[in-house]
């Protein structure tokens, strides 16, 4: 792979209902690239927007040869949109950033410089502070990444989707066959030489975050069940613990029985049934989550469907 001033850099931006500002956001990024004399192409992925985003993207592609736009047939979610974007790129390196400009595009020339001049395959932006996110959200994110690091050894604390990936890394990620994807997890799992660059999360240029609490919890569950089997082992530990407890309790009960002392009535029995019943149901639920993953993967449906394409 050649890394020099002429290397083509692909800029991938997922777009979901960003019609109000997407044209000016693309222009902002483009000006930065032009000033840095970077040879670039844009890959804009409309993730089934319900506003006029697609009309604007296809208009941009008509005017500018360096802008390729694709539209997904419906809203597949950011992770799928990013995969679609990667599959469309032709550059020697790919820069992924949010279209709401929360990822500062001013850093792109620095990313590209590090990639060109130092022997690094992945330049990753890490959040030096989590912007205007509220404290609850920040706490939840911290807890989630802590759990994920413990369970999988993959460190995603302060990680973001703002990254530069060498072509080899993109190819490695494309070879991963899973259908339900978690971009950050995949790009961390593949390894390669990496360099972290801290950045401050900007405010959104317009509108509000597209993530709802439910979607974030869904993402958390997907990423844990795809990268860790520790919850399954936890079930075995829990079972062994309860077995040890039941041996003690069983011996005590038998001793009392043979000594002729009768039981203390139903309270103990009811408590035990309730406790064991709920423990079994929770464990079945955990197994069910893994089963669900297998079920979705085995159907082998595509990650995304493209319905429109420009350039």
Binding site for ligand UDP (CB under 6 A): 14-16, 18, 47, 75, 77-78, 81, 98-100, 102, 204, 209-211
Whose Cβ is closer to ligand UDP: residue 92's or residue 98's? Answer: 98
Determine if 100 is a binding residue for Mg ion (CB under 5 A): yes
154 touches 230 (CB < 8 A) = no
Whose Cβ is closer to ligand UDP: residue 17's or residue 64's? Answer: 17
**CA dihedral sign, ordered 79, 83, 89, 93:** positive
CA distance 25 to 50: 19
207 touches 17 (CB < 8 A) = yes
211 interface partner picked from Mg ion, ligand UDP, none, CB below 5 to 8 A per type: ligand UDP
**Residue 63 backbone zone (phi > 0: left; psi -120 to 50: alpha; other: beta):** alpha
Residue of 193, 33, 212, 13 lying closest to 100 (CA atoms): 13
CA distance 116 to 169: 15
Whose Cβ is closer to ligand UDP: residue 71's or residue 92's? Answer: 71
16 interface partner picked from Mg ion, ligand UDP, none, CB below 5 to 8 A per type: ligand UDP
Determine if 102 is a binding residue for Mg ion (CB under 5 A): yes
253 touches 177 (CB < 8 A) = no
199 interface partner picked from ligand UDP, Mg ion, none, CB below 5 to 8 A per type: none
127 interface partner picked from ligand UDP, Mg ion, none, CB below 5 to 8 A per type: none
Determine if 161 is a binding residue for Mg ion (CB under 5 A): no
Stretch touching Mg ion by CB under 5 A, among 72-80, 90-98, 131-139, 253-261: 90-98
Question: Beta strand pairing status for 67-72 and 306-310?
Answer: antiparallel
15 interface partner picked from Mg ion, ligand UDP, none, CB below 5 to 8 A per type: ligand UDP
User: Which residues of the shown chain bind Mg ion in the complex (CB under 5 A)?
Assistant: 98, 100, 102
């Amino acid at each position: 792979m050649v890394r020099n001033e002429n290397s083509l850099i692909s800029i991938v931006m997922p777009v979901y209902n960003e019609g109000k500002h997407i044209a000016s956001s693309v222009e902002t990024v483009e000006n930065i690239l032009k000033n840095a004399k970077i040879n670039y192409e844009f890959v804009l992925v409309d993730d089934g927007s319900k506003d006029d985003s697609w009309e604007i993207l296809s208009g941009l592609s008509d005017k500018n040869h360096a802008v390729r736009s694709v539209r997904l047939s419906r809203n597949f979610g950011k992770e799928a949109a990013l995969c679609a974007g990667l599959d469309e790129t032709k550059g020697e390196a790919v820069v992924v950033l949010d279209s709401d400009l929360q990822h500062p595009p001013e850093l792109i020339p620095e990313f590209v410089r590090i990639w060109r001049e130092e022997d690094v395959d992945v330049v990753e932006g890490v959040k030096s502070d989590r912007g205007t996110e509220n404290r609850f959200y920040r706490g939840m994110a911290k807890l989630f990444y802590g759990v994920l690091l413990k369970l999988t050894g993959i460190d995603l604390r302060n990680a973001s989707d703002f990254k530069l990936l060498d072509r080899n890394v993109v190819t490695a990620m494309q070879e991963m066959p899973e259908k339900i994807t978690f971009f950050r997890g995949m790009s961390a799992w593949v390894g390669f030489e990496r360099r972290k660059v801290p950045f401050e999360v900007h405010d959104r240029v317009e509108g509000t975050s597209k993530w709802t609490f439910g979607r974030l919890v869904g993402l958390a569950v997907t990423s844990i069940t795809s990268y860790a089997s520790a919850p399954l082992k936890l079930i075995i530990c829990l079972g062994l613990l309860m077995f040890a407890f039941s041996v003690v309790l069983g011996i005590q009960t038998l001793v009392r029985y043979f000594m002729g002392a009768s039981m203390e009535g139903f309270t103990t029995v009811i408590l035990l049934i309730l406790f064991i019943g709920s423990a079994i149901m929770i464990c079945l639920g955990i197994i069910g989550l893994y089963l669900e993953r297998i079920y979705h993967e085995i159907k082998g449906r595509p990650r995304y469907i493209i319905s429109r394409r420009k350039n």
